[in-house]
Amino acid sequence: MSITVEQVLSALKNVEDPDLKKDLVTLNMIKDVEIENRFVRFTLELTTPACPLKEMLKNACVNAIKHFVDKEAEIAIHVTSRVTTPVNSNSLDNIKNIILVSSGKGGVGKSTVASNLAVSLAAEGAKVGLIDADIYGPSVPTMFGLRDAKPSARETPDGKTRIIPIEKFGVKLLSLGFFADPDQPVPWRGPMASNAVKQLFNDADWGELDYLIVDLPPGTGDIHITITQSYPITGAVIVTTPQQVALADTRKGLAMFLMPGINIPVLGVVENMAYFTPPELPDNKYHLFGKDGGKLLAQQFNVPFLGELPIVQQVSEAGDSGLPAVLDRTSFVAQAFGAIAGRIAQQVAIANATLVTPAV
Amino acid sequence: MSITVEQVLSALKNVEDPDLKKDLVTLNMIKDVEIENRFVRFTLELTTPACPLKEMLKNACVNAIKHFVDKEAEIAIHVTSRVTTPVNSNSLDNIKNIILVSSGKGGVGKSTVASNLAVSLAAEGAKVGLIDADIYGPSVPTMFGLRDAKPSARETPDGKTRIIPIEKFGVKLLSLGFFADPDQPVPWRGPMASNAVKQLFNDADWGELDYLIVDLPPGTGDIHITITQSYPITGAVIVTTPQQVALADTRKGLAMFLMPGINIPVLGVVENMAYFTPPELPDNKYHLFGKDGGKLLAQQFNVPFLGELPIVQQVSEAGDSGLPAVLDRTSFVAQAFGAIAGRIAQQVAIANATLVTPAV
């Protein structure tokens, strides 16, 4: 007797997405079920290609079918993804999610996290853009080895001339640094800076993007106010180092997103420069800038803790050399960044699911 | 035969101040010469109490008198100082020198350097004030253990009500952080931020100061433009970490001071987080963020290199605990900061001497 589609769907109704707290069938994540005797084939459509639960969900599907339908079933699952978008998305139709990477304080590794997050998500197959909105200290040109790059412009079908983002390591990039001499200071007052950043959003040919990562300047100034008021933001990632002095600023940076007039979901806190381990003393962790500050901050505001990143000489060297550290996919650092990228993508899916009521 | 005043002054004409390139008598640094037979007593008035050449100059005076006048002379030198001021000083009469502590990038330890510089200069006997102008991330309240401090105000003889700076560790302090809830974000646009900072300069009762240190926010934005346009600045100290990404920003921060419309002397570059030495491996230096970047930057712009500071856990802990690291005067860190403070005071004297033509 052949297995039926109904049996398979009925079994998969027992598999719940632990983030979205609904079963996979209700979430419309099971597609194209095909059956041939004991061979079951279907597509599992995740909410992000960087989903850290991928293997866990696949295993749960296999177990459910074997348990509820036929323990001899042979199951092939094709995993794809369709990145979700907040329901209130409007002004930037082709961009599914705008993610702000922010810190109260500068120098905590915000640009390092933003760059490696973008490259990690692209490596998982997502369509990713990165705006470097740190007008006074744009780091993306150095971190991507694009110090002398100048984006060109082209006319798009709507008759407008648009800036073409530069593509590298699978990420579409624009930085205010591309439009200024890297050695020249930019002594601009707030309104001028805000207008420059808006052009990167509005006047560029981004095409279709799953995630547009925005590397914000430190603080809570003009650019933050402009961006949060002008665009539909999926959420903000907060980067901090563990010491109190940084945390004091980070707390304010985080609290800004929660203010009634701004009200942007905080996707979580990344703790950077958590500790240093010399190669000669692999068991020693030197907490050079304090301990667990990021974790405590996440607890205090009841937002997810996305992970900690150690101080690794290669990360700063990689940033300087124009080859983001995650490119070496086998390294410890790439795995740490990859895990954090996965958790961020997961939080994006959760944020979107709590805003959208999925069609049952 | 008794030694004469003329003999002593004639001998001291052979002692040159290596910074100011003139002899001590011409520089008017020898005062109150008194003689009693072979006993010679005089005052050596330096340009800063933190002068790193103090011992060297004293020895040179003794040697000159013994060599040119009487090798049996007994010499007692009383060292004092009168901090010099730029000639063009105008709007803030009672403040001899305004020193900006700046960095292109945040998180490089600018506030740590500014705080420890202020405490070091005060410990040498100078009258020191510190303005924390980092509106979005004021660190001074945490670093000086003054998170809950609220300055009061009083009426001054000119009939105005003025804010009274808080005094701690010998330094008069004002921070924008004193006027805001430490956990509340300050989402202010530029003009509002600039006005707040100007109040700290204009509406506070600073009294007489040798040095007013200003901890600037990172970048080259509104507050920088306002301060450099509104006040007579003696010079700027640039803080950086060694890595390229930080240096790229620092280069711009430094270049801003040299722009024709701004034109502020750069007193030198401090390289922070130069290396880490684990206590278990005292001979190892881990250059976690690159090597010699600050030194090369100083060379490139032909400005003094003021010194490097290692990453020391106690420094960040000290900052967090509200007890600046230099308070423990015997520590390696205090000595490193003290040496840098001395070099900065020295550069201030040089900057002022090149502006003022000394009366011969």
pLDDT in tens, B206-236: 999 999 999 998 877 788 888 988 899 999 9
> Which of A185, A280, A290 is the closest to B259 by Cβ?
A185
Contact call for A259 and B187, based on CB within 8 A: yes
B109 in a known ligand binding site: yes
Whether residue A280 and residue B276 make contact (CB cut-off 8 A), yes or no, is no
Tell me how far the alpha carbon of residue B258 is from its chain's centroid: 19
Would you say B291 is a known binding-site residue?
A: no
B56-75 per-residue burial string, b: 16 or more CB within 10 A, e: under 16 = ebbebbbebbbebbbeebeb
- Position A297, amino acid: L
- The backbone region for A302, taken as left when phi is positive above 0, alpha when psi lies in -120 to 50, beta otherwise, is left
* Sheet with A74-81, edge to edge strand ranges: A30-36, A39-46, A74-81
DSSP alpha helix (H) spans, chain A: 5-12, 54-68, 110-123, 140-143, 190-202, 222-230, 244-258, 293-301, 313-321, 332-355
CB count in 10 Å sphere of residue A42: 21
Say if residue A86's pLDDT is above 60: yes
Contact with chain A for residue B56, Cβ under 8 A: no
Distance from CA of B220 to the nearest CA of A (A): 5
H or E segment to which residue B7 belongs: helix B5-12
Q: A5-81 adopts what CATH topology?
A: GMP Synthetase; Chain A, domain 3 (3.30.300)
pLDDT at B117: 94
Is the domain spanning B94-353 CATH 3.40.50.300? The answer is yes
Within the 93-112 window of chain A, which residues sit less than 8 Å (CB to CB) from chain B?
A: 104-108, 111
Q: Do B244 and A191 touch (CB under 8 A)?
A: no
Domain ranges (residues) in chain A: 5-81, 94-353
Q: Write the pLDDT tens digit of every residue in B41-100.
A: 999 999 999 988 999 999 999 999 999 999 999 999 999 999 988 866 555 778 999 999
Report which of residues A284 and B182 the model is more confident about. A284
Helices (H) and strands (E) in chain A, counts: 10, 15
Maximum alpha-carbon separation in chain B: 76
A286 touches chain B (CB under 8 A): yes
Residues of B in contact with A221 (CB under 8 A): 136, 187-190, 193, 221
Is the confidence at residue A91, as pLDDT, over 60? no
Q: Which residues of B touch A220 (CB under 8 A)?
A: 136, 185-188
In this prediction, residue B238 carries a pLDDT of 94
Candidate from A187, A218, A316 with C-beta closest to B243: A316
Helix (H, G, I), strand (E, B) or coil at A356: coil
Helix (H) / strand (E) element for A43: namely: strand A39-46
Establish whether B261 is an annotated binding residue: no
In the chain, the amino acid numbered B104 is: G
Contact state of A220 with B289 under an 8 Å Cβ cutoff: no
Of B214, B254, B262, the residue nearest B238 (C-alpha)? B254
Residue A305 near chain B (CB below 8 Å): no
Confidence band (pLDDT; 50, 70, 90) for B1? Answer: low
| Contact (CB, 8 A) for B19 and B349 | yes
pLDDT for A75 equals 95
Opening angle at CA A99, ends A238 and A259, nearest 5? 60
Kind plus residue range of the DSSP H or E element containing B97? strand B95-102
Nearest to B136 among A136, A221, A284 (CB): A221
- Is the CB of B190 less than 8 angstroms away from the CB of A311? no
Work out the minimum CA distance from B188 to partner chain A, whole angstroms.
6
What kind and span of H or E run contains B193?
Answer: helix B190-202
Q: Does A199 touch chain B (CB under 8 A)?
A: no
Predicted local confidence at residue B357, as pLDDT: 42
In which band, very low, low, confident or very high, does the pLDDT at B187 lie, cut at 50, 70 and 90?
Answer: low
Using a CB-CB cut-off of 8 Å, the residues of chain B touching A289 are 316
- Cβ contact A189:B222 at 8 Å: yes
Average pLDDT over residues B234-251: 86
Closest-CA residue of chain B to A135: B219
Q: Which residue of A has its CA nearest to B223?
A: A189
Q: Does A233 touch chain B (CB under 8 A)?
A: no
A–B CB contacts, 8 A cutoff, strictly below:
194
**Residue B194, min C-alpha distance to chain A (Å):** 10
pLDDT at A136: 75
Structure tokens at A73: 């079933």
Looking at the complex, does the CB of residue B229 fall below 8 Å from at least one CB of chain A? no
Q: Which chain A residues are Cβ-neighbours of B221 within 8 angstroms?
A: 136, 187-190, 193, 221
**Which residue in the set A136, A288, A316 is minimally distant from B276, CB to CB?**
A288
Question: In B241-326, where do the E strands start and end?
Answer: 266-271, 305-308
For B248, which of A182, A286, A316 is closest by C-beta distance? Answer: A182
CB < 8 Å from B in window 141-160 of A: 142-143
List the one residue out of B84, B173, B195 whose CA is nearest residue B128: B173
Instruction: Name the residue of chain B whose CA is nearest to A275's CA.
Output: B313
- In terms of phi and psi (left: phi > 0; alpha: psi -120 to 50; beta: otherwise), the region of A248 is alpha
Q: Does A278 touch chain B (CB under 8 A)?
A: yes
Chain centre to alpha carbon of residue B273: 19
> Looking at residue B217, what DSSP letter applies?
P
Q: Look at residue A45 and tell me whether its pLDDT is greater than 50.
A: yes
Does A225 contact chain B (CB < 8 Å)? yes
- Closest in A137, A248, A251 to B249, CB measured: A137
How far apart CA B96 and CA B109 sit, in angstroms, is 26
B280 touches chain A (CB under 8 A): yes
Task: Flag whether pLDDT at A115 surpasses 60.
Answer: yes
Contact in structure between A102 and A224 (CB atoms under 8 Å): yes
Mean local confidence (pLDDT), A344-356: 83
A290 contacts B317? CB cut-off 8 A: yes
Closest CA to B36 of B9, B65, B74: B74
pLDDT digits (tens, 9 = 90+) for A156-209: 888 888 899 999 999 999 998 888 776 676 666 767 778 888 889 989 999 999
- pLDDT tens digits for range A286-323: 988 888 889 999 999 999 999 999 888 777 777 788 88
Q: How far is CA A285 from CA A35, A330, B79, B84, in A?
A: 53, 22, 48, 48
- Known binding positions of A for ATP: 104-111
- How far apart are alpha carbons A24 and A9 in whole angstroms? 9
- Residue labelled with tokens 């230096």: B285
Q: Is B221 on the interface with A (CB under 8 A)?
A: yes
Which residues of chain B have a CB within 8 Å of the CB of A143? Answer: 245
- The SS3 call for residue B260 is coil
Asked if residue A103 lies in contact with residue A243, where contact means CB atoms within 8 angstroms, the answer is no
Give the pLDDT confidence score for residue A93 in this predicted structure.
Answer: 75
Nearest residue, CB atoms, A190 vs list B190, B249, B253: B190
